[in-house]
Amino acid sequence: MSLKGRDLLSMADLEAGELMLLLEEAARFKRALRAGEVRPSLRGKLVALIFQKPSTRTRVSFEAAVRHLGGHPLNMNASEMQLGRGESISDTGRVLSRYVQAITLRTFAHREVEELAEAAEVPVINALTDLEHPCQVLADLLTIRERFGGFDGLRLAYLGDGNNVANSLALGCALAGMGFTIACPEGYEPDEDILDRARSLGGEEGVRVVRDPREAASGAHVLYTDVWVSMGQGDEERRLRDLRPYQLNGEVLELAHPDAVVMHCLPAHRGQEITDEVLDGPRSVVWEQAENRMHAQAALLHLLVGEED
């Protein structure tokens, strides 16, 4: 089983066995980094990091992962490239393929990362689009695996807006064999095509959409939320009003499994989608999630373009 030379644009690009390979490699990298024994499998390789959206965790975690593996990250702001002056995504991909060994893109429309992958001759990684955020979910699954030792019998409850993270979580949970339930108001559901794909992987009962956040949280092993107003979205007042009943707070947490953990992909709007007592509480694994972005992305880069052990 090999991911060499592949793209990762969606969690649907992976099979279950490939996901487990990635998570095992991420755990191995994490152990090696802490022991000071990381093999520089990207030595002499360049990775282009293109950002059309602001970023903290994605930028730093990718750059750190590349450097830990001995490679060289090239941070590229789209507004400072010809891309920002009208050059096509396809032309950008063709040119960069002559210079670098992998390209990551954080952008708005998912079609842009697809166009980049179609034109590029090197692996392309989706570092976030409006449709999906697969790198975040790789880190999330690594965090769950660390906490519970596996995925069998676990259920993740997502509260709030069915956004790009929720889309990738639905697919990721299905691939891992976890149950996925999202509680959201009408009109805030995840992408229907993605839900259908997730159900084909995990079964009708494994992927559910409900309206009552208490129903979703009841007995769940993981409670997950994200911001209610993402970058570029309008009508903030309406969204905040509609999503207010879906706040992840202490009352909701009490309904979950006794060993349940709290997750948030960050940045958090404290007092909106999540309360301080939960985000900073003893059942939060949010900071482990953030750290694991680097480990999961290091594993991904190693498997896509790294030198073999």
Q: Where are the domains of the chain?
A: 11-132+293-305, 134-289
CA distance 204 to 137: 21
- Using DSSP's 3-state secondary structure scheme, residue 220 falls into coil
Active site residue 136: yes
CA distance 169 to 179: 10
Determine which of 9-23, 76-90, 252-266 has the lowest per-residue pLDDT on average: 76-90
**CB half-sphere exposure, 25, CA atoms < 13 A:** 26
- Of 217, 179, 172, the C-alpha closest to 194 is 172
134-289: CATH superfamily:
Aspartate/ornithine carbamoyltransferase (3.40.50.1370)
pLDDT at residue 218 above 90?
A: yes
Q: Per the residue annotation, which of 130, 140, 191, 226 is the catalytic one? A: 226
CA distance 196 to 75: 36
- Asked if 11-132+293-305 and 134-289 have one fold, the answer is yes
Q: Per the residue annotation, which of 57, 110, 133, 295 is the catalytic one? A: 133
Q: Which is it for strands 179-183 and 72-77: parallel, antiparallel or unpaired?
A: unpaired
Q: Using 50, 70 and 90 to split pLDDT, how confident is the model at 82?
A: low
pLDDT at residue 84 above 60?
A: no
- 147 phi/psi in degrees, rounded to 5: -75, -40
Active site residue 283: no
Mean pLDDT within 200-215: 90
Active site residue 226: yes
CATH topology for 11-132+293-305 is: Rossmann fold (3.40.50)
CB atoms under 10 Å from CB of 86, counted, come to 6
Mean pLDDT within 123-135: 98
255 and 218 in contact (C-beta within 8 Å)? Answer: yes
- Of 121, 118, 123, 125, the C-alpha closest to 89 is 118
Active site residue 295: no
CA distance 285 to 279: 9
- Of 266, 228, 272, the C-alpha closest to 249 is 272
- Of 176, 270, 164, the C-alpha closest to 222 is 176
CA distance 139 to 146: 11
Active site residue 135: no
Beta strands in the chain (DSSP E): 46-51, 72-77, 102-106, 124-128, 155-159, 179-183, 207-210, 222-225, 261-264
Please provide the DSSP assignment of 27-70 as one string: HHHHHHHHTT----TTTT-EEEEEESS--SHHHHHHHHHHHHTT
Predicted local distance difference test score (pLDDT) of residue 26? 98
CB atoms under 10 Å from CB of 171, counted, come to 27
Q: Per the residue annotation, which of 265, 272, 289, 297 is the catalytic one? A: 265
Q: Using 50, 70 and 90 to split pLDDT, how confident is the model at 81?
A: confident
Determine which of 67-81, 125-139, 279-293 has the lowest per-residue pLDDT on average: 67-81
Predicted local distance difference test score (pLDDT) of residue 78? 73
Q: Per the residue annotation, which of 52, 101, 136, 247 is the catalytic one? A: 136
CA distance 207 to 190: 11
Q: Using 50, 70 and 90 to split pLDDT, how confident is the model at 154?
A: very high
Active site residue 145: no
